[in-house]
Amino acid sequence: MAEQESGQALDAAFFIRWLTACAAAVEREASRLTDLDAAIGDADHGSNLQRGFRAVAEVLAKDAPATPGAVLTLAGRQLISTVGGASGPLYGTLLRRTGKALGDAAEVDRAALADALGQGVAAVAQLGGAAKGDKTMLDALEPAVDALATSYEGAARAAEEGAVATTPLLARKGRASYLGERSIDHQDPGATSAALLVTTLAEIAGQAPAAGSGQ
């Protein structure tokens, strides 16, 4: 797998920076996400994530856990408790399971993160019963996890491509599936937000103040 260096050491502060940046990114993109959801869903994906990530940023600002695992677990619980809808439990589970997989290490590297995120994504697939190609967030998350083994930028690119690639798909899960054929030709809002989170990860990793080979 890790044919490259696994890069900088990621500590709790890194993950707090990432999730805080996610909150800002969601704030910025909220109406685009809601509009995508309006086309094939119920026009709330942007405001759902806005509510959730505001709460995450708030709780992390107040009470900053000491390990990457604890940061992600807390953030996941917070999403579950504040978002609702489909994306709340799904993103909540993603972060919680990733956090749990990271255990109580004070620092983790990219390889460990890729591995843990893989477990988080698997938990999402199990919880929601969706597979790649069903036109859901998994279409961005799965390729991203695979690429993360190699680089942050690669993961971001893969997630973006995965999101864009949902456009021609017929939805088989979530609300968009009710539309049948009419779900075709619209980009999935959840895949789009997933790409946003992964892109933000790459950005934060790129500007990380800690030493490391970057990527």
The residues of the shown chain that bind ligand ADP, judged by CB under 6 A, are 37, 41-42, 44-45, 48, 85-87, 90, 128-130, 136-138, 173-175, 188-191
Q: How far is it, in rounded angstroms, from Cα 81 to Cα 75?
A: 10
191 binding partner (options ligand ADP, Mg ion, other proteins, none; Cβ < 5 to 8 Å by kind): ligand ADP
Backbone Cα Rg of the chain: 16
- Which residues in 63-82 are b (16+ Cβ under 10 Å) and which e? eebebbbbbbbbbbbbbbeb
Does 32 engage in binding with other proteins (CB under 8 A)? Answer: no
For the bound state, the minimum distance from the C-beta of residue 63 to other proteins, rounded and expressed in Å, comes to 18
Q: How far is it, in rounded angstroms, from Cα 163 to Cα 191?
A: 5
- Binding residues for other proteins, how many (CB under 8 A)? 36
204 binding partner (options ligand ADP, Mg ion, other proteins, none; Cβ < 5 to 8 Å by kind): none
| The one segment of 25-33, 36-44, 107-115, 138-146 that binds Mg ion by CB under 5 A | 36-44
For the bound state, the minimum distance from the C-beta of residue 47 to Mg ion, rounded and expressed in Å, comes to 9
Of all residues in the shown chain, the one whose CB is closest to ligand ADP is 190
Site for other proteins in 129-168 (CB under 8 A): none
Phi, psi for 35 (deg, rounded to 5)? -65, -40
First to last CA, the chain: 16
Q: How far is it, in rounded angstroms, from Cα 56 to Cα 215?
A: 27
For the bound state, the minimum distance from the C-beta of residue 124 to ligand ADP, rounded and expressed in Å, comes to 6
Site for other proteins in 46-85 (CB under 8 A): 46-48, 51, 80-85
SS3 141: helix
Tokens of 52: 């959730």
Contact positions vs Mg ion (CB under 5 A): 37, 41-42, 44-45, 85
